[in-house]
Chain A
């Protein structure tokens, strides 16, 4: 399974992304488990709304954080996310 560059990416409906006040962290929740996220991973996943593809997500984040050159890091993380079932492409 590899990331398709053209297709939009959406967060998996079988998982839940949520801010945890007690941990001061975003987490992914799924049956009987939890993954703690750092801030940049959480920001990427929040962009996976099912309307944007990889390039559009990169542009959105580079704009938001007023920077460039994020594509490699974002791609690497989304590959991991896809492998773990946190995101989907139709």
Chain B
């Protein structure tokens, strides 16, 4: 079976540093684990510096400071400075909540290259509702400050059934705020989004209409703004090439120091994901069971193992296979060749039924510590 033979690996290029699970927002589609509240410990500044140094030496060049809300870490500027000295391109992935002009300047001086800010919707009422926190107005102000201080800015809006009808206004908002890049991220159904899927998954008609509007806008703003469009894979018939292949490109470090081949991997059974307190990044990347588990093609079952597209999509997403079929070795059920493909249609049908229910009958479960403790 998988994982115990070492397979020749390419060096990591992308390091995602999840500095903390603490966050002032409560978005019901958060990609953090639903039981995040049980991971209380956070790495020290020295631990993070060592991780950054070791991963850079191996060839990592893109660095995302993420979370939770990375701004809650008091040593953020110190880590940004360390990353800059090492030659990383550093991205701050933030809710923008609590970001002051003073801190924007401080981070710029420390060498931060780019800020990605999220807004939940194009209207205050809906955005504040989804964030579970009054934050919309402040986020808009922060977006202007980011541009004022010369950063490239990515505006990220997660798209789902609650806000998909706002697509034209979301695009207008991105233009008005001067976004250099607009990430229209159709929700991916892991973590909290999986929990709330019946309330978040749009219908095919809604999705297609929104995509058409976004496509027309993309042509209109060509040369001024770039659009990153993350497809909702439930309406595709081939799976995404998840993480560009397991253990080929991406390295995520969770707040407690656990190294993950993708940010959902700690939910997969039996991987024994290693901790940076016990091993070097080189050992983790090249030697560990977790990072070798789904490298290459040896681990595959049918229909993947004989599929002529396996080198294109690597059988899709392991976490999605596990979440939806109960077996992480299965083909991603999004694939129409998967024997479990019908679970996707069932999910779509189930979401349709929920769309007819009122908020009281089926409320969104917000991402917060209380709900997380209830899930554990």
Contact = CB atoms under 8 A, between A and B. Distances in A.
A18 interface: yes
A14 B116 CA distance: 14
A29 B223 contact: no
Given A20-B59, A23-B59, A83-B223, A30 B11 contact: no
A16 B89 contact: yes
A13 B147 CA distance: 13
A63 interface: no
Contacts of A29: 61-62, 89, 113
A27 B61 contact: yes
Nearest to B225: A85
Contact of A22 (B58, B91, B181, B228): B58
Nearest to B87: A18
Question: B91, B150, B152 — which one has the most chain A CB atoms within 10 A of its CB?
Answer: B152
B13 interface: yes
A33 B11 CA distance: 16
A69 interface: no
B152 A32 contact: no
Given A1-B223, A29-B89, A32-B91, A20 B61 contact: yes
A31 B91 contact: yes
B223 A85 contact: yes
A34 interface: yes
Contacts of A1: 223
Interface string A1-32: 10000000000011010101011000101111
Closest 6 A/B residue pairs (Cβ): A22-B59, A29-B89, A14-B152, A31-B114, A31-B154, A1-B223
12 contacts: A14-B152, A14-B180, A22-B11, A30-B89, A30-B152, A31-B91, A31-B152, A32-B62, A32-B91, A32-B228, A34-B89, A83-B223
Interface of B: 11, 13, 58-59, 61-62, 64, 87, 89, 91, 113-114, 116, 150, 152, 154, 180-181, 223, 226, 228
Given A22-B59, A32-B116, A34-B61, 20 more contacts: A1-B223, A14-B180, A20-B61, A22-B61, A29-B62, A29-B89, A30-B89, A30-B114, A30-B152, A31-B113, A31-B180, A31-B181, A32-B64, A32-B91, A32-B154, A32-B228, A33-B62, A34-B62, A83-B223, A85-B223
